[in-house]
Amino acid sequence: MLKSTWQSKLTSSLFVLPYFICFCAFLLFPILYGVYISLHNFELLSENHEFVGLAHYVKIFTPGSYLNQQFFKGLWTTIQFVLYSVPLLVLVGLALAMLVNQLPGRVRGLFRTFYFMPYAISGSVMAVIWLMMFDTNAGFLNTLLAKWGMDPVPWLTGLPWVWVSLVMTTLWWTIGFNMVIFINALNEVPEDYYEAASIDGANAWHKFTSITLPSIRPVMLFILITSTIASFNVYAQPFLLTRGGPGDSTKVLLMNVLDQAFKGKEIGSASAMAILMAILIMIVSVIQYRLAYGRKEGA
Amino acid sequence: MRKFVLTLLAVFIAILFLMPLIWMLSTSFKNDFEALAGQMNFIPKKPTLDNYIEGLNGELMNVPIVRWITNSLFVGLAGTGIVLLFSSMASYALARLHDLPLRKVLFSVFVGSMMIPGILTFLPMYMEFNSLGWINTYYALILPYSAGAFGVFLLYQFFSSFPKEIEEAARIDGANKWHIYSRILLPASVSIMVTLGIFTFMSIYNDFVWPLYATTSPEMRTITAGIAMMAQGSYTQAYGKLMSMTVIATLPVMIVFIVGQRSFVKAITQAGVK
């Protein structure tokens, strides 16, 4: 071992320093500052920040209070979105990956690109495109329905259609990510497993359930976790497409947090909501990791 | 036969995926009257470049599109540059410089931070920039991306597996740490740096929530934040005009995506392996 002098340690540290400063300034400090803010009556326009302790948190858990409503109604809406979108994000992602893998080699890359393309665009562009597609009077979808002699659908203004629209756009926009990960996982399943199974006379369904699924299980859990986290963070779709409507039926938690901060100008209570939301997301992902880990050991 | 049916199915699904993008492109060449006529014509009856010409002249709905797109490109490139430089330096030290104090702790903390939901830092970061007087400046638009740990994570893996012998030979020849980093490791890592660069550029360029809140004047918006603002406003029925903006906004990122598709997929896959 080389003996390291303090000069050597110092030059080594200097390499980490620029990133470390950014990390502290734009991640570590905001986290601590957020906790501080959540313990104060922190208003956007006022200089005076009165210490209130856990009052904001207490209010969030006090049934009937405004904060309680904002938090738990928003949370329930978010959970609905998670329940509607996550199963499809996993299953459709897998189905698309399997379809692409079955295609002739020459066009495989082409179709992967087509399905993956929407993932490359911004959430705001995505929303504007779909505002046009979903437009009740002149939108692409209703024009198409009219051609087939069907009544217009209130895609962005009526229940349950708003949920259909939100899930549809989410699939269109993000499914490419899941598909790409699944394609990689499927390509790593050893080909001779399938050959051996064919010799034993296994049909396609058997091969799928007893070779493909067990082999890609870790990846499937990864997709499940990332899709759940992403769906918990849903914002662009309801914020720009339905604006939380009709009524508050698609107003997700993140919208309530940011409204409380920027429309209500109450950063303190909004921060308390944000911290609880973040803790919740982290708990959900830890539980899912645990389940993934536990199952792996059991297998 | 089976392959044929599957290919047919794949084509059908591809049409579903591409339809909204094609419709966007088609609508951008229509005047507002035709765009709202509720017809399914993919080829405009009276194709017009007016939406684009007005957009680039700054006359379109009185928004400075050229300024927005310039902001976006500048913010995206500057942010990507910072991420590439800072995370490559940090991960070089974490992976190769064994006398770095708290090496393992730092690495765990950095990588662990990728688990933290963005909402936790969003409001306090806004307040931080607010008290610095940096809301509505390029600092607010660029700096927050520099704390992302994905680059450190990705490059750490690459640098860790770099052969020791080359480094030792260079050291015997008198190369110091900076030489080894800049003359040996960086040139050897061009492909992974390109991968990280494409991934980073696309995610900064496409972000719209932070830039929407972190800017207050029209001139400081990025194109994605500008579009988000217009999507909430009263412009939403001027589809022809809006679509020319979304096409302009999407072009740079689509070019990067199509040219660097393999790298982009690689970065996503490597993110998945963690």
List the structure tokens of A208.
Answer: 């799928």
pLDDT the model gives residue A63? 95
B100 touches chain A (CB under 8 A): yes
The full set of domain ranges for chain B reads: 1-48, 63-273
End-to-end CA distance of chain B: 40
CATH number belonging to domain A65-298: 1.10.3720.10
pLDDT at B36: 81
Kindly report the nearest CA distance between residue A155 and chain B, in angstroms: 15
Work out the pLDDT band at A299, boundaries 50, 70, 90.
Answer: very low
Give the 3-state secondary structure of chain A.
CCCCCHHHHHHHHHHHHHHHHHHHHHHHHHHHHHHHHHCEECECCCCCCEECCCHHHHHHCCCCCHHHHHHHHHHHHHHHHHHHHHHHHHHHHHHHHHHHHHCCHHHHHHHHHHHHHHHHCCHHHHHHHHHHHHCCCCCHHHHHHHHCCCCCCCCCCCCCHHHHHHHHHHHHHHHHHHHHHHHHHHHCCCHHHHHHHHHCCCCHHHHHHHHHHHHHHHHHHHHHHHHHHHHHCCCHHHHHHHCCCCCCCCCCHHHHHHHHHHCCCEHHHHHHHHHHHHHHHHHHHHHHHHHHHHHHHHC
Q: In chain A, where are the structural domains located?
A: 65-298
For residue A15, list chain B residues with Cβ-Cβ distance below 8 A.
Answer: 89-90, 92-93, 97, 100, 177, 181
Question: Is there a contact between B37 and A30 if contact means CB atoms under 8 Å apart?
Answer: no
B26 to chain A: which residues are within 8 Å by CB? none
Give mean pLDDT, residues A10-33: 97
A residues 173-192 near B, CB within 8 Å?
A: 177, 180-181, 184
Q: Would you say residue A2 has pLDDT above 60?
A: no
For chain B (length 274 residues), average pLDDT per consecutive 10?
91 96 94 82 88 83 90 98 98 94 96 94 96 96 97 94 88 90 93 94 96 95 94 77 93 94 83 62
User: Does the pLDDT of residue A1 top 70, yes or no?
Assistant: no
Enter the DSSP assignment of B42.
S
Q: What angle do CA B5, A85, B145 make, to 5 degrees?
A: 110
- Test B119 with A229 for CB contact under 8 angstroms: no
Task: Check residue A138 and give its pLDDT.
Answer: 84
Predicted local distance difference test score (pLDDT) of residue A19:
98
Of A116, A118, A125, which is closest to B246 when you measure between CB atoms?
A: A125
Q: Which positions in chain A touch B68 (Cβ < 8 Å)?
A: none
Closest among B198, B35, B56, B226 to B141, alpha carbons compared: B226
Maximum Cα interatomic distance, chain B, rounded to a whole number of Å: 75
The CATH class of B63-273 is mainly alpha
Q: Vertex A287, ends A269 and A226: CA angle to 5°?
A: 80
Give chain A positions within 8 Å (CB) of B195.
Answer: none
Angle in degrees, CA B3, B7, B12, rounded to 5: 150
**Residue pLDDT, tens place only, A101-140:** 999 988 999 999 999 999 999 999 999 999 999 998 889 9
Q: State residue B3's pLDDT score.
A: 86
Q: Write down the pLDDT at residue A298.
A: 41
Residues B65 and B248: beta-carbon distance below 8 Å: yes
What is the pLDDT at residue B57?
83
Would the pLDDT of A49 be above 90? Answer: no
For the record, the structure tokens of A126 come out as: 């995505």
| Chain B nearest CA to A200, separation (Å) | 22
Q: Are B198 and B256 contacting, i.e. CB atoms less than 8 angstroms apart? A: yes
Question: Which of B90, B101, B231 shows the shortest C-beta gap to A9?
Answer: B101
Query: Whole-model pTM?
Result: 0.93
Of B249, B226, B260, B247, the residue nearest B21 (C-alpha): B247
Q: DSSP 3-state assignment of B221? A: coil
By the CB < 8 Å criterion, does B232 face chain A? yes
* B97: helix, strand or coil: coil
Asked if B243's CB is within 8 angstroms of A99's CB, the reply is no
Task: Quick: pLDDT tens for B197-246.
Answer: 999 999 999 999 999 999 999 999 999 999 999 888 766 678 888 999 99
State the pLDDT at residue B1: 81
Q: A40 forms bridges with which residues in the sheet?
A: A51
Structure tokens belonging to residue A45: 């326009």
Q: Which of residues 106-125 of A touch B (CB under 8 A)?
A: 107, 111, 113-118, 120-125
- Average pLDDT, rounded, for chain A: 92
Partner-chain contact A29 B13, CB within 8 Å: no
Backbone angles phi, psi at B36, to 5 degrees: -100, 5
The CA distance from A15 to B93, in Å, is 6
Please list the alpha-helical segments (H only) found in B132-259. 138-142, 150-160, 164-172, 177-179, 186-188, 190-206, 209-214, 223-232, 239-259
Residue A297: the pLDDT is 47
The residue among A124, A156, A123 whose CA lies nearest residue A142 is A156
- Conformational region of residue B47, where left means phi above 0, alpha means psi within -120 to 50, and beta covers everything else: beta
Output the six-digit token pair for B214.
Answer: 């972190």
Of A12, A31, A104, the CB nearest to B7: A104
A224 touches chain B (CB under 8 A): no
- Tokens for A203, please give them: 């049909």
The pLDDT of A189-207, averaged and rounded, is: 89
- CA A19 to CA A53: how far, in whole Å? 33
Residue among B7, B113, B119 whose CB faces A103 most closely:
B7
| Band of residue A3 on the pLDDT scale cut at 50, 70, 90 | low
Q: Two tokens at A29?
A: 């400090």
Rounded to whole angstroms, the maximal C-alpha distance in chain A is 82
Task: Compute the average pLDDT of residues A222-227.
Answer: 93
pLDDT at residue A57 greater than cutoff 50: yes
